[in-house]
Structure 1
Amino acid sequence: MGQASEVTIELLLSSPTHRYEGRPGDGPLPATTREVFESIQLRAGLGVVGDRYFGQRAHRQASVTIMAAESLDWVQDSLGLLEHPLAENTRRNIIVRGMPIDEMGGSIFTLDSGSGPVSFVANRPANPCAWMNVTLAPGAFQALRGRGGMRCEPLSDGTLSVGPAELRMRHA
């Protein structure tokens, strides 16, 4: 793996249910369990333990969504919002500050928040949807185009925790 850079994991989300079903104008379904955690468990090829996409064959290469915290800063600044959008409303599993995830398509990388490195491959963009206009702010769907994060596959088992972390990129 390549040189390490310091990043910060700001949010970890694992939700057993789909909350954004139907029409965005009807609003999201209520959370039935806790969804935001201080740490999450990941399993190679399966995803985040307890998440709705864990072990789903159709989502194996896209079971973990990672988004840059800076994307939410962009939404706030570009839309002139007085309050910062709530990261958990993006429904991304991992929100990281200091990681250019939207530029990392095809990359293999590790995140280590102190419990050992967890390897991922960034397979494809996690494009925003119209729900962002309801759950973040009017205009957020458009503001997040090209900034929605990446759908990733974990290549190793491990634990990630909120707080400082180390990012390592694999050299090509």
Structure 2
Amino acid sequence: MHAFEGRPSDGPRPDPEPVGRDHVRLRAGLGIVGDRFFNNPAHHNAAVTVIAAESLDPWPVDPLVARRNIVLRGFDVDALARGTVFSLDTGDGPVRFEVHRPASPCAWMDVVVAPGAFKALRGKGGKRCTPLDDGVLRLGKAALAIVIT
């Protein structure tokens, strides 16, 4: 992850490039094992961020720069209402997530994505969620289902 601290006009610290993973391990109510917000009380309702890849399509960037944990293609993440429960299954069994609030973009998007991205991503920055199950998600195709409660 880039260290987005200070003012965007100063640019990010010269940290290593963001690292993609071929899989992540999730813990119910805690988040992604190894993530900086894992088991952080201030982030229990926002432990995992999900974004639609289409939100970033206007720019030729690696989705990792948006600093979202999960990138989905072909699903309107931003249309999910607070309290919605959905599941993702990449072959190791479904993992359910509860949607809590928007993952609003910040001014850093103008620096790491492109000028104007901060404004363009308003309302398209994804959602902050809580995992409801322990499980594993792998890179690649996933089955997504809205859970009716």
Distance in 2, matches of 1:143 and 1:170, equals 30
User: Deviation digits for residues 17-70 of structure 1, max 9, x if unmatched?
Assistant: x71111111212344586210100110010011111000000000010000001
Which residue, out of 115, 120, 145, partners 2:122? Answer: 145
TM value normalised by structure 2: 0.93
Distance 1:157 1:33, change over 3 A: farther
Count of residue pairs the alignment pairs up: 148
- Give the letter aligned to residue 95 of structure 1: V
Residue ranges of structure 1 left out of the alignment (5+ in a row): 1-14, 77-83
Determine the C-alpha separation between the residues in 2 that align with 1:117 and 1:52: 24
Q: Mark the runs of 5 or more structure 2 residues left unpaired by the alignment.
A: none
What does the per-residue CA deviation read over 1:118-164, in whole Å, with 9 as the maximum and x for residues that have no partner?
11001000000000000000000011011000000000011111111
- Match among 89, 96, 99 for residue 72 of structure 2: 96
2:33 is equivalent to residue 57 of structure 1 = no
The answer to whether the Cα contact below 8 Å between 2:8 and 2:108 also exists between their aligned partners in 1 is yes
Q: Determine helix, strand or coil for the equivalent of 1:127.
A: coil
Give the Cα separation in 2 of the matches to 1:127 and 1:34.
19
For residue 36 of structure 2, give the secondary structure of its aligned residue in structure 1: coil
> Contact (CA 8 Å) 1:105, 1:125: kept in 2 or not?
no
Letter in 1 for 2:30: L
Corresponding position: 1:72 with 2:49:
no
TM-score, reference length from structure 1: 0.81
Whose RCO is larger (CA < 8 A, sep 6+)? 1
The structure carrying a bigger strand percent of its residues is 1
Q: Matched residues in 1 for 2:18 and 2:52: separation?
A: 22
For the pair 1:37 / 2:37, whether they are aligned, the reply is: no
1:124 aligns with 2:101: yes
